[in-house]
Structure 1
Amino acid sequence: MTSAVNLATANAVGPEISWKGSRSRLKALTRLDDEEIESLRLPSPIFPHKCISVALAHTVTQDVYRHHRPLKLGICAMEDKVCSKSNQEIFRRLEADSHVEVVLFGDKMLLGKPVQEWPACDFLIAFYSDGFPLDKAISYTRLRSPVCYNDLLMQKLLFDRRLCNRVLNHVGVRTLKRLEVNRDGGPRASSRELVQHVYNRPPAVSLSEDENTLIVDGRTLHKPFVEKPVSAEDHNIYIYFPRTAQTGGGRRLFRKVGNKCSEYDPNLVVPRCITEKHTTRSYVYEPLLSADNGEDVKAYAVGPQYCYAVTRKSPAITGTVRRDLSGKEIRQATGVSKFEAEAASKISAAFGQSVCGFDIVRDQGKSYVIDVNGWTSVKHQPEFYGQCAQVLRQMLASRRPN
């Protein structure tokens, strides 16, 4: 398969994929009975949904536009993200279509004006980053009822890795075995009190005598393992290696600083869930896999039809970012397996995100989804920009208001 896989190929037989189904997406949130699950359901903003036909992956019907005014597409996000080179590549291609008028909201509008003064749009691309007023944007969608490319309520769910993992498991996407140390009342859904009732017992957490095994409520996980804060906005992820005569310690991962993305610490032995025992900080623990070729896979779903993927050197290996002569991080387009293509389709539909990045680790012929990121910029990949804009344009055509 090519690096840009059309998901219609993987799903050539079967029903069209609908953006409906928030109930099925969210039934996996907590260990609750049916009545409690129903009370926790997070409704999506009210707007007309339409199925996306597999045929749209191949052709655009210009007849849809005939005799209609240009469609207004609102871009509702922080300016630093909207103006990034990769996002500009996509939005510029959309605006090149004479049937689409792109309207940028801007920080001044988002932060300083009431939603009643935000411009009315037929379609809306909105995604979270630092400083973005998500609750305000949700209020806007309820007021104006645009067709949303990205379900804003479901973006709240992306903040908590525990909830993401439950949704992934529920829709059949392969994830890693993991342990959770919950001291914050557990995952947050629309009824925090109910979820806290389920998770209100503090976990029993300990480390084995040889300091090589984490024990949480009787369940065990052996080093090497990865420790992730439950907040998906916290990128301070630690790796703990088994203590032997030759090795031990751990590696601290962080957002890139220059050419550095992690550092080894020989004294990183005891997990934070133990050193921070009397706090409310919570963590997810997963086994560390030996990634094939020492590479991570960054994948990008665009609707249920299209997936693009690149590889990069895993930050867990050396902690150094590989760059080319122009200073750009080296990322290579990679083929996508049938499982990865199907996972992309399920993730896009389950989380209600028309553009959604997610991370994969390939290990001995199997692929595991380890994180879901929401709208993510794809750097220096012209092939992706063109295909992404084309699919988004096709979605506009298929959902055009009457």
Structure 2
Amino acid sequence: MNELDRQRAVINETDKEMARLFEIRMNAAAKIAGYKKERGLPVYDAEREAAIVAKNTENVSDPALRGYYADFITHTMKVSRDYQTALISGVSVAYSGVEGAFASIAARALFPQGRFFPQRDFEAAYQAVVDGDCEIAVLPVENSFAGEVGTVIDLIFSGPLYMNDTYELTVHQNLIGVPGATEDTVRKVISHPQALSQCAEYIRARGYETEEFSNTALAAKHVAALADPTVAAIGTVEAAQIYGLSVISRSINTGRDNTTRFAVLSRRENDGEHTGNKFFLVFSVKNQAGALAEAINIIGKHGYNMSALHSRPRKDLPWKYYFYIEGEGDVNSDEGRAMMDELSAVCSRLRLVGSYRGGADLV
């Protein structure tokens, strides 16, 4: 056997071993896909993949080969992603509204291969996951201009689902109406209360009447059915296209940097490496002087920053309130567990809704 044949034999044996390891790797990828599907996590995690490439490249002893290995492992991870996407394809996702709603756009961005089940309202979308009819719910929790979405926050407080990620969608509100409608023909504008709030300056300047609707896309659908040039909706370009409407005026929301944050909710919580440095905590304090201040001090004492702290009236107890915070830090650490233990002593109700990275990285 000459040198060429010897080296080809080495490559053949190496390829055989790589095939065995490839199968092991893909089986592990399949299990990860199942984990992500149950918890509504996106397949692609840019931060983690970049860290893996950097770490694994250090294992190559020959500096001249490190760049080639980086290309090799990057391609290998893409193969794993493609396989996971195929396995996750068909994940059932509930959202509030109809096709063309902002929640629909967010859900499709998060789960491009998903099966989507629009629901009549936030509660129905949440309950669809609780009942096992859907695996994931994508619901808005906050808008940078209009603030919290109280109905969804109340569901999170009272319900059993976990928040496993968040996704920020830049919102562009548009005035949409039947073909031929103009700003001058419009007399009434209908949309979701938050959309009306976001466009209040535009509406006031033109003296339009307003009517609240349960959803921006449903408002667009209603305008299409009316076929009346005096009635317009506020909604997305996608909704206009779906329902055969024209965009009368674009980006009419007051805040140009208008973002809605959506929560990914499921029956299973994150664990291990899929948790992150953000967490969502809901609690109510005991009816004693200084209880709220003590709870806040406990959180700070353990080194956690509260990026948000809000109160909401309890529906089950008149004139009583619950609180929710979004914190920064690893709540699954020993420090986090100690914090939760101390909080349980001053809180009448305490629940860690989720620990996540936030701002899902999408391709």
TM-score exceeds 0.5: no
Coarse TM-score class (shorter-chain normalised): under 0.3
TM-score (normalizing by structure 2): 0.26
Which has more helix, going by share of residues?
2
Q: Which protein shows a greater Rg?
A: 2
TM-score (normalizing by structure 1): 0.24
